[in-house]
Amino acid sequence: MPNSSSISEFLLLAFADMRQLQLLLFWLFLGIYLAALLGNGLISTAVACDHRLHTPMDFFLLNLTLLDLGCISTTLPKAMANALWDTRDISCAGSAAQVFLFLMSAEFYLLTVVSYDRYIAICKPLRYGTLLGSRACATMAAAAWGTGILYPLLNTINTFSLPLCQGNAVDHFFCEIPQILRLSCSHSYLREIWAVVAAICLAFGCFVSILFSYVQIFRTVLRMPSEQDRYKAFSTCLPHLAVVSLFVTTAFFAYLKPPSISSPSLNLVVSFLYTVVPPVLNPLIYSMRNQQLKDAVTKLRRIPQYTRKY
């Protein structure tokens, strides 16, 4: 049986076997990827260039868009290449890079930080500038990125140090830790359980923090005497709630769905939903209630017209 030292590549799960369908999927993936690049790129550029958007909320939004760009660029281009060239292989180094660079945990940490930002803005507005100064924002963002990078780094080292003797076929369209662990010849189920339990504990801690923040926000908003103030407060939270709901429902269903309904086709669809759909939809959700962000993006879109004119 082959071990990890003799395995030079892994075989990913294909979306389709028919060549015509593979080419159709390539063009679909390309459109999705370009939409994600355009949406997240416009928002990140607008936040970086427009001084009106240099607020704590927009700073965290910039971090989220950069993270979305990184996550979708880790998984989708390889799936596009495999569909275009009718291949399934990915090198061992490429597999390790996907496992390490798919920083979904960092996104959950950043969403938790954004919920804290909304909590301070609505529940303690007079202390907003003090509690969320530039140094505090940079520290929280660095902690989210650092923790989000450290966790996959340890998991990558732990996973790829195992001897592999169950073949090299990965039951996924990109490499994730549970799929690699299933190829191990040792008692990898203990490591798989540890990885899942650690992920659930971290996710549960973030979820509880987000839930606590919004419980306090709703209590404060419902005590506001003015209906206009209540509407304004709720509208500032709606984009974040929508992003959190999209992220949590797709990711939790992917990892915690009952084994009785699990199948390769369903796993493929669900994994596509939680890895590709959020980075595409998040820019639309972010700008849904942010008029300043809409104006900044519109101004960026008009720059080429002015350039051609002059």
DSSP letters, the chain, are ---TTT--EEEPPPS-SSHHHHHHHHHHHHHHHHHHHHHHHHHHHHHHH-GGG-SHHHHHHHHHHHHHHHHHHHHHHHHHHHHHHT--EEEHHHHHHHHHH--HHHHHHHHHHHHHHHHHHHH-GGGHHHHT-HHHHHHHHHHHHHHHHHHHHHHHHHHHTS-B-S-SB-SSSS--HHHHHTTBSS-HHHHHHHHHHHHHHHHHHHHHHHHHHHHHHHHHHHT-S-HHHHHHHHHHHHHHHHHHHHHHHHHHHHHHS-GGG--HHHHHHHHHHHHHHHHHHHHHHHTSS-HHHHHHHHHHHHHHHHHHH-
Q: In the numeric block, which tokens belong to residue 255?
A: 């990892």
Q: What is the pTM of this model?
A: 0.83
For residue 151, give the nearest of 197, 116, 218, 95 by alpha carbon: 197
The amino acid at 10: F
> Is residue 66 situated within a structural domain?
yes
- Of 289 and 184, more confident: 184
216 contacts: CB under 8 Å, gap ≥ 6 = 119, 123
The CATH number of the domain holding residue 292 is: 1.20.1070.10
Query: Rounded distance, CA 291 to CA 31, Å?
Result: 27
Give residue-wise pLDDT tens across range 51-106.
877 888 889 889 999 999 998 999 899 989 988 898 888 888 888 889 888 888 88
Give residue-wise pLDDT tens across range 106-150.
888 898 998 999 899 888 888 888 888 889 999 999 998 998 888
Confidence bin at 6 (pLDDT 50/70/90)? low
- Of 147 and 193, more confident: 147
Domain region containing 226: 9-309
Scanning the structure block, which residue is given the tokens 């028919």? Answer: 18
Query: Rounded distance, CA 197 to CA 200, Å?
Result: 5
Give residue-wise pLDDT tens across range 13-57.
888 788 888 899 999 999 999 999 998 988 888 888 878 778 888
> Is residue 3 situated within a structural domain?
no
> Is residue 1 situated within a structural domain?
no
The pLDDT value given to residue 186: 62
Confidence bin at 306 (pLDDT 50/70/90)? very low
Count how many domains the chain has: 1
- End-to-end CA gap in the chain: 67
Query: Rounded distance, CA 269 to CA 272, Å?
Result: 5
The pLDDT value given to residue 310: 44
Mean pLDDT of 281-306: 67
> Is residue 290 situated within a structural domain?
yes
> Is residue 220 situated within a structural domain?
yes
Q: Cα–chain-centroid distance for residue 96? A: 18
Query: Rounded distance, CA 119 to CA 128, Å?
Result: 10
Confidence bin at 290 (pLDDT 50/70/90)? low
> Is residue 217 situated within a structural domain?
yes
> Is residue 2 situated within a structural domain?
no
